Amino acid sequence: MNILLIDDDVASRQSTAHFLTNYLGHQVTQCSNGDEALELMNKEMFAMLLTDIRMPGIDGIELLKKVKSNPEWKFSDVVIITGYGELSTAIEALRNGAYDYLLKPLNVEELAAIVEKIAEHQYLLRENREYKANFDNMLHESTKEIENRLKDLQSLYADIVGIGKVGIFSDKMKKIVKLTEKYHKDRSIPVLIQGETGTGKEVIARMIHYNKGETTTPFISINCSAISPSLFESELFGYEGGAYTGAKSKGMPGKLELAQGGTIFLDEIGDLPLDMQPKLLRVLQEKELYRIGGIKKIKLDVRFVCATNQDLRKLVDDGRFRRDLFYRLNTGFIEIPPLRERKDEIPPLAQMFLNHFAEIKKKRFRIINKKALDILINKDWRGNIRDLENSIERAVLLYDEVELKPEHLEADLYYEEEVAESQDTILIKLEEESMPLQEIEKKIISKILDRFQGNKTRTAEYLGITRQTLRKKILE
């Protein structure tokens, strides 16, 4: 859609144009006052005008009146930008034919919603004009075009069951979403999702299961690194009554049975105990299982989705993961790149998180200061999207202003700005009053886990402790 943006505030105008162009995909022409706007409209047709009210020369209201009084421009939709103290002017604009108005500072979600409505309105206007000329051919082409445009706009945000609102802002992520749609259609294909901690592997798993929300079958999740090896088999397969000491008399279905007709999500599959791997492989191949102590065969109708932050091929080469299980799980594969490799997503993701937390915490935050945005873009984000989300939530919790500024991020970015820390160096900032030994241990364990890419077995070996002791210290 061709949009004319009129605003004498250069920084505000360029920021709005960047969002309309790069995130909503529209063509934007900029100018600084009403006179320039009228000259441009004499040369080119614009479907939408987005104009500030207060400008030198012709103001927004006068420009609106001129546009609506010209027969050649009457189909252009005009949106007025006004301040909180100018609501009476906004009402006057609506009476003079404005499509809508937006309050300063602009809320990108409200702007995206209005642009989407105008895109649909413009389509309907165009459809009516072309109806008389060439109904059969032109209507088909126009319908296809607007459907694609609306689909693109709607994909800006997606509501994932069990997760909430998720931003889909880059070509890389759109390709991954398309892959999830393909895998959703064939439940027989196991899918392996690989990505660093915090990249959103469970979000992608839920997309594969729920697709666009029409699925009502169960989604059962298991974290393979959080279950004791001795309990893993009963957790996964269930057990019959009296199968072992302490077992319930009536028995218990396992997670696989609970996922019948739906999806079992095995997170951190690289930590699956070696002795469990051939049993899982058999279930994948035969689509059936026996409970512990049971003699009745249970047929399974379950989709398998697994995730890992480790390199499974290397685990296979090291003899810590079965090769045949790896190739079986790897039938469908999705790799999620880390956030540092898709920095173009950081601004819209940060804005989405800011809007979300400001709303639920009843804070005034609406926009992100340019310097603060530069800090967010240049940060390494070792914890990826989850790390970014936590940073924004912390800032909203501690402060309450309209604009997110660099000083709101100082506490969170202390190590990024003031400490040069290598992979083999552990630097701990000692508090003035006191610092419990348990906290120091956690920082050391966290650093070593990072070094071994989250592998708990190698971390435990490096520290000279058992996996059970490591798990206990992590959970303390």
The answer to whether residue 280 is domain-embedded is yes
Judgement on whether residues 361 and 318 belong to the same structural domain of the protein: no
* CATH code assigned at 389: 1.10.8.60
- For residues 423 and 393, what is the distance between their CA atoms, to the nearest angstrom? 27
- For residues 180 and 26, what is the distance between their CA atoms, to the nearest angstrom? 27
Judgement on whether residues 209 and 300 belong to the same structural domain of the protein: yes
The answer to whether residue 25 is domain-embedded is yes
Residue 454 pLDDT: 79
The answer to whether residue 431 is domain-embedded is no
Least confident of 162-176, 277-291, 383-397: 162-176
Residue 418, pLDDT above cutoff 80: no
Judgement on whether residues 28 and 85 belong to the same structural domain of the protein: yes
Residue 240 pLDDT: 86
Residue 5, pLDDT above cutoff 50: yes
Q: How many domains does the chain have?
A: 4
Answer positive or negative: Cα dihedral of 461, 462, 463, 464: positive
* CATH code assigned at 445: 1.10.10
Residue 369, pLDDT above cutoff 50: yes
The answer to whether residue 159 is domain-embedded is no
Map tokens 């810590």 to a residue.
320
Residue 450 pLDDT: 78
Judgement on whether residues 324 and 344 belong to the same structural domain of the protein: no
Judgement on whether residues 314 and 381 belong to the same structural domain of the protein: no
Token pair, residue 2, equals 């061709």
* Peptide bond before residue 337 is cis, with ω within 30 degrees of 0: no
Name the strand (E) or helix (H) holding 305.
Answer: strand 303-308
3-state secondary structure string across 441-458: HHHHHHHHHHHCCCCHHH
Judgement on whether residues 282 and 384 belong to the same structural domain of the protein: no
- For residues 340 and 416, what is the distance between their CA atoms, to the nearest angstrom? 14
Residues 6+ away with beta carbon under 8 Å from 197: 309, 383, 384, 386, 454
Residue 384, pLDDT above cutoff 70: yes
Token pair, residue 406, equals 């660099």
Give the chain's end-to-end CA distance (angstroms, integer).
Answer: 55
Judgement on whether residues 263 and 211 belong to the same structural domain of the protein: yes
Beta strands 238-239 and 252-253, pairing class: antiparallel
Over the stretch 443-475, which tens digit does the pLDDT of each residue have?
Answer: 888 888 877 777 888 888 888 888 888 887 877
Instruction: Report how far apart, in Å, the C-alpha atoms of 9 and of each of 33, 64, 85, 93, 261 are.
Output: 10, 19, 18, 20, 57
Residue numbers of the domain that contains 442: 437-475
| pLDDT band for position 422 (cuts 50, 70, 90) | very low
* CATH code assigned at 8: 3.40.50.2300
Residue 376 pLDDT: 93
The answer to whether residue 143 is domain-embedded is no
- For residues 268 and 223, what is the distance between their CA atoms, to the nearest angstrom? 6
Over the stretch 17-48, which tens digit does the pLDDT of each residue have?
Answer: 999 999 888 999 999 999 999 999 999 999 99
Residue 152 pLDDT: 46
- For residues 12 and 27, what is the distance between their CA atoms, to the nearest angstrom? 17
Residue 419 pLDDT: 41
For the beta carbon of residue 402, count every other beta carbon within 10 angstroms.
Answer: 12
* CATH code assigned at 258: 3.40.50.300
pTM above 0.85, yes or no: no
The answer to whether residue 432 is domain-embedded is no
Contact 253, 298 (CB under 8 A): no
- For residues 474 and 476, what is the distance between their CA atoms, to the nearest angstrom? 6
